[in-house]
Structure 1
Amino acid sequence: MLRPILFIFVLFFFKYTYGQNEIYELRVYEMEFFKPANILHDYFEKALIPALNREGVNNVGAFEESGETLPKKIYLLISYQNMQAHQDVTDALKNDTQFKLDAQTYWETPSEKTPFKRIESIFIRSVSGFPNLDKPADDSEFFELRIYESHNEDALRRKVKMFNDSEFAIFNDVGLNTVFFGENISGNQMPCLTYLLAFKNKEEHEKAWSKFGPHPEWQRIVKLEEYKNAMNDISRIFLKPLTYSQL
């Protein structure tokens, strides 16, 4: 009698510990003009990221856009084992005495000195073909964030399948180093998927993409009826890591 119960427990543990896809929270801080961002950087580096690390949330990415785009934006990428882990960590930070102490200066900043206008919080669920965040090489200094929009949910399903079945392998072949990949579950560009690529520099980025189009497997799958009209828009944002980024 004990053995069947133990077996059921193992299956339950595997499903809810390892069988779930990761959840990524991508926070986008839209900065105010002419307001120094030091207070926000200090909050990330000395309060929020250390507190997340204490809760087992590692490899927190912090980026700014490459180039002189306006308004300036800061991107924070936080990965969780699952959605329940996100809720647990959020609750834990509310009771973290050290975090409260470290974040005090940021929290007490008056509204007229707050360096950002708003925060957009986007949640993304990883897919079976790329279930876990992959920390890039330490010398990665050039990142590309890509968002693929589809005209409906089934079109997005087909595009995700295209990646799961073939495109991830092509990416590996040509040097498109994926950091995370997932299907958005919230945000203002739904339905869509989002992924992040890492490179040593812009030259490595251009070299890798130049190999993608002519790749024989891409040439095969792009002609398949199953994948026609699977997406209708692409957004791409070039990023560079901030000094305290863990990616």
Structure 2
Amino acid sequence: MATVPAIQNIASPLVPALSNNKEIYEWRIYTLTGEGDSFDAFLENVLIPAYNRFNIKVGAFSLYKKEEKEKRHVLFIYPDITTFHKVKREIWSNTTFRQSAQSFFDASAPAPVYSDFDTYLSEAFDKIPTHRIPDKSRTLFEIRIYRSPNEEANQRKVRMFNVDEINIFDKVGVNSVCYGEILSGPRMPALMYLTWYKDEVA
């Protein structure tokens, strides 16, 4: 099992979805070339509002503990796979987004603010088809990516979560936001889940 370090929310708190379908989660991990001020401004003022106009909820997070290279984690929550494809097609033809984003793209082309980003696309578990709202008192989030040795083992792990493990997490006080089977990502097969905490001690 691989664990991404604890992260803290920097923009757009997550809110409940309106669909009864299983949500689709797109998790991007950006590796920055600097401290990230210009990228944070782009997220807060341009990218997140653009997705919000499509009724897509977005959460942006910075690392709680510094690593060698600064990173940003961004979670996009789609109500279903059809909406995911629709937004991907339409956002780049959206005039408001293109106009507001162009200065960032022009400035970052010769001097990139991030070297690359990894994307994990996942589908919500049957047990929790839509995300849960984090408590307002939360200060830390933790994303965990659980990798399996093969596809069959990953399916068994997903079933274990649906049948038993999510209930156990709830009973022992693990504060879950969402769970997803990763459909596409840098390393497969795998699943992911996001939890929140009031402080580092918790």
Are the aligned partners of 2:142 and 2:195 in contact in 1 as well (CA < 8 Å)?
yes
Q: How far apart, CA to CA, are the structure 1 residues paired with 2:39 and 2:162?
A: 37
Instruction: Flag as ranges the 4+ runs of structure 1 deviating above 6 A.
Output: none
Structure-to-structure mapping, 1:83-232, within 5 angstroms: 83-204=81-202
Q: How many residues align?
A: 185
Matched, 1:21 2:22: yes
Matched AA of 1:128: D
Instruction: Quote the offset at 1:70 in angstroms.
Output: 1.5
Q: How far apart, CA to CA, are the structure 2 residues paired with 1:128 and 1:69?
A: 35
Match of 2:49 in 1: 50
Query: If the length of structure 2 is used for normalisation, what is the TM-score?
Result: 0.85
Q: How far apart, CA to CA, are the structure 2 residues paired with 1:131 and 1:192?
A: 18
Cα deviation 1:171-211 (Å, max 9, x = unaligned): 1111111111011111122111100100111122xxxxxxx
For residue 49 of structure 2, give the secondary structure of its aligned residue in structure 1.
helix
Q: How far apart, CA to CA, are the structure 2 residues paired with 1:94 and 1:85?
A: 15
Q: How far apart, CA to CA, are the structure 2 residues paired with 1:118 and 1:160?
A: 29
Match of 1:5 in 2: none
Instruction: Quote the offset at 1:101 in angstroms.
Output: 2.1
Match of 2:40 in 1: 41
Are the aligned partners of 2:35 and 2:70 in contact in 1 as well (CA < 8 Å)?
no
Work out the percentage of aligned pairs sharing the same amino acid: 32
Q: How far apart, CA to CA, are the structure 2 residues paired with 1:68 and 1:43?
A: 21
Structure 2 unaligned blocks of 5 or more: 1-17
Compute the RMSD of aligned alpha carbons: 1.7
Larger Rg: 1
Structure 1 unaligned blocks of 5 or more: 1-16, 205-247
Decide which of 53, 67, 70 is 1:72's aligned counterpart. Answer: 70
Structure with greater proportional helix content: 1
Q: How far apart, CA to CA, are the structure 2 residues paired with 1:41 and 1:85?
A: 25
Are the aligned partners of 1:43 and 1:102 in contact in 2 as well (CA < 8 Å)?
no
